[in-house]
């Protein structure tokens, strides 16, 4: 790409307002409350654990814990999320150089100096972030946050014990049939939620699941199983899919209009640390098509957690008016994957069905890092396409505006922002 073309595009992208369509921000503590909120970001745990760090299951809050974590940093600092961390430290705290036990006190001092009550607002203004859709139900009214929530529907933690628990949850409602039990379960799941106050409902759906509505016979068969039964993956798919459709039916009955689907991850329930892998069945995208067909009154936004089946996901958004795509989840938020993903999306899917930015962040500092990387990647992709004659410069800038602001504004807020 031409450095001049990219520079011109980035200058315009930096002027754009942005909407974050999926975060976990809380109004009362938008910014990091302590240094470990930044250094202990969950996606830093994966590379550190892979080289021997044992602290992934506990928050590193004190000096000794942070020093222990940083002692493994030289073995993992080549990975992308540490480049995002370095950007946070340099651009928000003016910390440059190596991060280790010797320099940690200086970083802590810089953090304490700048982490004032108004800090979150400064970062938000710097990002030009207009709205963030927070999946945290505790979020109070806030001009930045739009309220959403996550509801466990399909099992993310696959395995025989979880399958039994899903059935027992429905059985406890004492409905007259499996369908009635599931209907009552879904009603109870949503009874304490003001659906009409939500911008969207989030659903964790494994990429190993089958989202087709099961037949009554298949549902009756699994409901007859005892809690000690060793459920097969296909049997668990029957349970999870039935729960998902029951919850969607109740959500629509109460006026719900939008659902986000986190797609493409399988939970390794047998792994001692319970990690996730990007994994999808060959039939998964067509399985999601059944959701779009069964519930045309719901708009589904897919948040991809895997670079597998990119073309099939794009085809879903291209084929169904009620399916769109947004950003990338944390397990595939890597520059090489992001460039491939966005190039293919832009070639296949109308920009009016694409939202650029998902932070999935619990503090605005990591929201900042994710937005910076998203802008960098899209500047790369768009400048390449301008150089190739695919777009003019003005078209590329207009597309960026649509991805960062116009599309999420229209899909989630009816153009009111």
Query: What's the number of domains the chain is made of?
Result: 2
Which residue, of 270, 302, 326, is where some domain finishes? 326
| Residues 6 or more apart in contact with residue 191 via CB below 8 angstroms | none
pLDDT tens for the chain, 417 residues long, are 679 999 999 999 999 999 999 999 998 889 999 998 999 888 888 888 889 888 765 555 666 788 888 899 999 999 999 999 999 999 999 999 899 989 999 999 999 998 887 889 999 999 999 999 999 856 566 889 999 988 766 555 556 667 788 888 888 888 899 999 999 999 998 988 889 999 999 887 777 778 889 999 999 998 888 877 888 878 888 888 898 999 999 999 999 999 999 888 766 655 545 556 666 777 788 889 999 999 999 999 999 888 888 899 999 999 999 999 999 988 889 999 999 999 999 999 999 999 999 999 999 999 999 999 999 999 999 999 999 999 999 999 999 999 999 999 999 999 999
What pLDDT score does 89 carry?
Answer: 96
Measured at the alpha carbon of residue 406, what is the angle toward residues 404 and 408, in degrees to the nearest 5? Answer: 70
Which residue, of 127, 157, 175, is where some domain finishes? 127
126: its two tokens: 């710097």
What pLDDT score does 398 carry?
Answer: 98
Residue 267 near residue 158 (C-beta atoms within 8 A):
yes
CATH number for the domain that contains residue 163: 3.20.20.140
* 79 and 210 inside one domain: no
* 37 and 112 inside one domain: yes
* Domain carrying residue 73: 22-127
State how far the alpha carbon of 402 is from the alpha carbons of 120, 199, 388, 398, in Å.
Answer: 26, 19, 21, 6
- Euclidean distance between CA atoms 164 and 275, whole angstroms: 21
| Burial degree of 239 (CB within 10 A; 0-12, 13-18, 19+) | buried
What pLDDT score does 330 carry?
Answer: 81
- Euclidean distance between CA atoms 349 and 120, whole angstroms: 34
Residue 135 near residue 22 (C-beta atoms within 8 A):
yes
* 104 and 152 inside one domain: no
Which residues are registered as beta bridge partners of 354?
325
DSSP code string of 128-196? TEEEEEE--TTPPS-SSEEE-EE---S-SS-SHHHHHHHHHHHHTT--SSHHHHHHHHHHHHHTTS-GG
């Amino acid at each position: 790409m031409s450095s001049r073309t990219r520079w011109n595009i980035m200058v315009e992208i930096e002027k754009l307002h942005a909407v974050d369509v999926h975060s976990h921000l809380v109004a009362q503590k938008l910014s990091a409350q302590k240094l470990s909120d930044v250094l202990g970001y969950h996606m830093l745990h994966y590379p550190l654990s892979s080289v021997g760090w044992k602290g992934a299951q506990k928050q590193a809050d004190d000096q000794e814990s942070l020093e222990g974590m940083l002692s493994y940093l030289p073995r993992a600092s080549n990975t992308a999320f540490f480049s995002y961390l370095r950007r946070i430290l340099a651009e928000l705290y003016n910390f440059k150089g190596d991060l280790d036990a010797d320099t940690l006190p200086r970083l802590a001092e810089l953090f304490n100096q700048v982490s004032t009550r108004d800090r979150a607002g400064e970062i938000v203004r710097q990002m030009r972030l207009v709205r963030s859709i927070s999946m945290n139900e505790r979020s109070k009214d806030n001009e930045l946050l739009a309220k959403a929530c996550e509801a466990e529907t399909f099992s993310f933690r696959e395995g025989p014990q979880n399958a039994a628990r899903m059935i027992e949850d429905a059985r406890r409602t004492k409905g007259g049939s499996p369908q009635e039990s599931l209907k009552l379960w879904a009603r109870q799941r949503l009874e304490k939620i003001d659906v009409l106050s939500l911008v969207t409902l989030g659903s964790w759906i494994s990429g190993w699941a089958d989202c087709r509505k099961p037949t009554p016979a298949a549902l009756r068969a699994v409901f007859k199983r005892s809690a000690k039964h060793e459920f097969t993956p296909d049997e668990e798919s029957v349970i999870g899919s039935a729960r998902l459709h029951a919850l969607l039916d109740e959500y629509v009955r109460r006026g719900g209009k939008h659902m986000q689907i986190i797609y493409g991850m399988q939970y390794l329930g047998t792994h001692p640390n319970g990690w996730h892998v990007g994994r999808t069945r060959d039939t998964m995208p067509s399985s999601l098509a059944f959701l779009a067909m069964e519930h045309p009154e719901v708009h589904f936004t897919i948040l991809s957690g895997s670079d597998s089946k990119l073309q099939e996901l794009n085809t879903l958004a291209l084929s169904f008016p009620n399916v769109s795509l947004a950003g990338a989840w944390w397990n595939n938020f890597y520059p090489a994957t992001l460039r491939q993903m966005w190039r293919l999306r832009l070639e296949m899917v109308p920009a009016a069905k694409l939202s650029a930015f998902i932070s999935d962040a619990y503090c605005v500092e990591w929201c900042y890092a994710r937005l910076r990387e998203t802008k960098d990647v899209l500047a790369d992709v768009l400048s390449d396409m301008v150089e190739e004659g695919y777009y003019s410069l003005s078209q590329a800038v207009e597309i960026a505006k649509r991805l960062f602001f116009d599309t999420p504004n229209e899909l989630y807020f009816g153009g009111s922002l």
